[in-house]
Amino acid sequence: MNAINRVSLIGLGAIGGTYASKLEKTKGVRLSIIADENRSQRYSKNGFIINSESFKFGCVTPKTKVEPSDLIIISVKFHQLNQALEDIKNHVGPNTIILSLLNGISSERIIRDKFPSNKVLYGVVLSISAVREGNKITYADTAKIHFGEENNSILSQEVKLVKDLFERSNIGYIIPEDMIRTLWWKFMFNVGINQTSAILGAPFEVYKKVKEAENFLRDTMYEVMGLGQKLDIKLDENDIEYFINHVYSLPPNGKTSMLQDIEGKRKTEVEMLAGTICQLGEENNIETPINKMILNIIRSMELMNESKE
């Protein structure tokens, strides 16, 4: 493979839609959106308005036989991952690269278990500011995909190919030397900001205005930092201070995806966040009381939302 030309994407949320719009406009790239029959019909009928520009993506149902893709991008929610891996089967060939954009620290392992012969790259999106409402997506062009192998001191051929695609598509990216630290770095922030905001039911401005809210965020991230350090992940207090300052810079009325999920009575990713922390804590005999509390609270909120339907 000299260049990535055939790209399949599954998961047209705010992040998936943002990158689909960029890939759709890239010369020489043939983009396919993998979606079930109902979504395919809806997407084809309504299209998308992304940053005020109209798009009608080519959709392919999971059962359709297609030529294998050069690259598959997975941008679904964590609880949708297992189904997504079934849905992409017809797009996977021997040379297909798979890139996960899911939050968390475990999706790549799950994908590798399903497709052990394929190159699966680590990936995470940082500085994303994107919202989807119905078929409308708005985003600020500040996001960067951090991606690569575990160690990128020397770039693999697959990383070089994806790098070339991103440059052609005007997709911001960073290739960290230590990708595992980067995953944990973002994971620590997600565990803190997504979950505390969902419990507080508040936008970003609460952390600047209410000291107790900032303390809640800070303590939750400290618990992740402590666990990570026990597992030889190089996180420290400077990382926490960076994220506290970052929250201060976010749009005051902006909301995390988990808060939007709670408000929309949708399933959250709490198992991927607090659930993962609690599991790793139990496996390594490390107490994680804050995340145990958060897991119970958010699961209770989900169940109460279900009972109201």
| CATH number of the domain bearing residue 168 | 3.40.50.720
Q: Considering the domain boundaries, does residue 285 fall inside one?
A: yes
At 129, which helix (H) or strand (E)?
Answer: strand 129-133
Same domain, 52 and 68: yes
Same domain, 214 and 290: yes
Same domain, 17 and 162: yes
Same domain, 85 and 197: no
Q: Rounded to an integer, what distance in angstroms lies between the CA atom of residue 184 and that of residue 264?
A: 28
Last residue of a domain, one of 117, 151, 174: 174
Question: How many domains, in total, are found in the chain?
Answer: 2
> Are 97 and 158 spatial neighbours (Cβ–Cβ below 8 Å)?
yes
User: What does the pLDDT average to over 232-242?
Assistant: 95
Q: Considering the domain boundaries, does residue 1 fall inside one?
A: no
Same domain, 161 and 196: no
CA angle 176, 177, 181 (to 5 degrees): 75
Its pTM surpasses 0.75: yes
Domain that holds residue 98: 6-174
User: What is the model's pLDDT at position 257?
Assistant: 85
Last residue of a domain, one of 123, 156, 174: 174
> Are 175 and 152 spatial neighbours (Cβ–Cβ below 8 Å)?
yes
Write 112-117 long-range contacts (CB < 8 A, 24+): 114/85, 115/85
Q: Which two tokens stand for residue 288?
A: 């994680």
Which bin fits 103, alpha (ψ -120 to 50), beta or left (φ > 0)? beta
Same domain, 39 and 165: yes
Same domain, 168 and 185: no
> Are 275 and 298 spatial neighbours (Cβ–Cβ below 8 Å)?
no
Compute φ and ψ for 248, nearest 5 degrees.
Answer: -60, -25
Q: Residue 8 forms beta bridges with which residues? A: 32, 72
CATH label of the domain that carries residue 201:
1.10.1040.10
Q: Considering the domain boundaries, does residue 139 fall inside one?
A: yes
DSSP annotation of 113 reads: H
At 174, which helix (H) or strand (E)?
Answer: strand 173-174
Same domain, 87 and 217: no
User: What is the model's pLDDT at position 309?
Assistant: 60
Q: Which residue has the tokens 């803190």?
A: 192
Quick: pLDDT tens for 182-229. 999 999 999 999 999 999 999 999 999 999 999 999 999 999 999 999
Cβ neighbours around 300 below 10 Å, total = 10
- Could you tell me the end-to-end alpha-carbon distance of the chain, in angstroms, rounded to an integer? 50
Quick: pLDDT tens for 26-85. 999 999 999 999 999 999 889 999 999 999 999 999 999 999 999 999 999 999 999 999
Q: In what order do the strands lie in the sheet with 48-50?
A: 53-55, 48-50, 136-140, 129-133
Same domain, 19 and 165: yes
Same domain, 149 and 27: yes
Quick: pLDDT tens for 142-183. 789 999 999 999 999 999 999 999 999 999 999 999 999 999
